[in-house]
Chain A
């Protein structure tokens, strides 16, 4: 029913004029540059008279819990007394079973007497199955059945029954949508999404469910784990022969969720929502809805995994799966476990019968699982579907900014108090905070103030953590840890986040291989490759070298410069073998980027190639460095604490590719190539150059691996742990040198210069 119809039908009720039409859909993932907004359709409201709260003034229309009939309470108490007095029942399990037998028997035998009770219970089932319409502040709002069940019957630890929150209403609709939808976005012939006037997408029906479930990226303490348990119980306790499973980030989290959330709520559940069990009141390992002597027993169950490993549920059929704190998973590959669980929830023919719900904060993005959770998130973008209408992961991202549903910032109608609270909202907020001017704060300003405080204290690590735990947008949920004060962390974080969420076709992973040994190198794409490159050379521009007296020289040494930081075979870092670093930098090109050009529009003066790897042998590493220099035609300026790279180049006849420092006074080159990371000046100089480069050109950097090292390094003594960082620093040091100009001059001479350069050859 719409307002126009209601005004016509209920002419005598003036209060109806205050009411407004229901929304025709619920929007989630809105106002986030990395998420496509989703409009979840809502059914048309019934006759307003059938909606809870009809006839009340709008201001008095709030969510009301179901009123448990006194007659039913009395019946339960009577049956309980009979059971307790029955001495033939020897223990709690027997008494519990007898309670169920007797109360159903009583209701069945006295159908007439308890007709009102039976009708009321049926109504509870109806709301649980189909949801319920309620009026909230003058507007019809549709509560999904899972949400209604949560609000009325799902007890929370130290809270009791939850309050109605607008955020939860949307969250539950998102879950139901993922559980049921068979729709995928329609695209035009060019593959573009097609929009309807309300900015939602034109969809088409795939004919089968398209999502295995949801990927819920959340802030702290928003109750998503309890809500997923509510859904798990609702499904498993009303279906025959189905299984639900809970798996955590380690070997104990599943148990905690099971005992502290599921069993807590289960024990408070009214009898008519509890399937028959063996009577165990406080199950420790699994909740089994199976009673052998009862012929209609569901034979369904919920358990938890005692390990984070993928094999726990392997080959089992799961109707519901909760993967809690996925982004913190220890000792397991998130992707591989996801693949296993996906098989548990679907058939090989593509039919989806299970429902998966992941939820996680990303406390420790530096963990491998944090990165994997990010990749899973990127594979779960709702609008990015394959030819079968599914996302790559089979999941759908669900994200709410931290100011939605922030504890203490909830208004009288369950609305999130994001901006300045109104007087009416203040009355229902229990966490009223005011700024120094006495103005009460909304959630957004509160979180912003917390961040400002961290910035003022210089606690960048705390700031990064705050962003991950209370993200304002999806990107912030994956904020890398800020661990130093050398560099502009904002540029680093924002650029890393940008690279995480935006595909750049220039960025490719692969390997350089010898096409002609010691003469020509080519780049081959390989997802497991050793190099990350952000530029490809045209065929006629790569591998440019000249042979002068049997020594190879780069033909155009002034365009790119390379550096390498070799590793020691025996060196370990906290049990992890260190890696060899390598980098190539595109030097400033004054023709392409004249001084009149804005820095942000520069194309040169940036990294184009990074390498962080530990091949089986040092020779292999040195050969990798040589191939890199041959391809780019760059001079190599290696870190020389370990001089193997220089030796290898000389040994292979590529001494001309090595770069030497020159004496500023005499202009004479030094005896050895490269640089040493020892002495009081070199590290501050390198850190200064890197800081300056990040400030000027950081936002154009396409090498996430390098920026992650920049963000992670805590002090100057840690450079040995960050080989790529040192290698890139080496390219910046090298860019200062005029050595390449000297090489250029020699290359352009037409005379045989082998005598002049002979000492180097």
Chain B
């Protein structure tokens, strides 16, 4: 179906006729468009073919002037297009840069967070490793248990503690917890570590270091008098200190 040429604008008609060169209806519509103002010029030759110099000169001047106007208009159109394109490009570049900057900031933040998390994790792992090391050293061998039992054979309280340690397979921390729970004491983490630290001043008295039964009774007395903890805890505390190496423990 053909378009309604009478309702088309001059620029649209121009585009149309250039692709429909044999459509005389469209061409007529373009050349008789009501919006166009025409300037009529006189003939360039006489009826017998003789040039009319005056009219030719008029024609040349008119066309020259008209072409200059046309060129100026074309320049303005190109400038407008260029400005439009420049604005569009600037907007696009700004949008791209903005998203680029946002990405970079996001990446940096993520990196910072990762570093922080990694540092925290490393710290945690180190602490756990330390704890694991402590836990291994907080175990006594069967031989050590037998030796302690022999040394403490006159102290029934200490022997009961040794039994608990035996039940716990030599794990001093577990034994200490069991004893504390049985006595109805509130149990904290790293119980043995904390208790032995608290008792360091007692344990590290020079005249106590050598004799296990003496050390245990001193610790027991200290525990009961200062914190109301069960005296039976004295045995795992003492063994823990000895297991750590009594000199190292006291050099702390």
* Chain A complexes with chain B: no
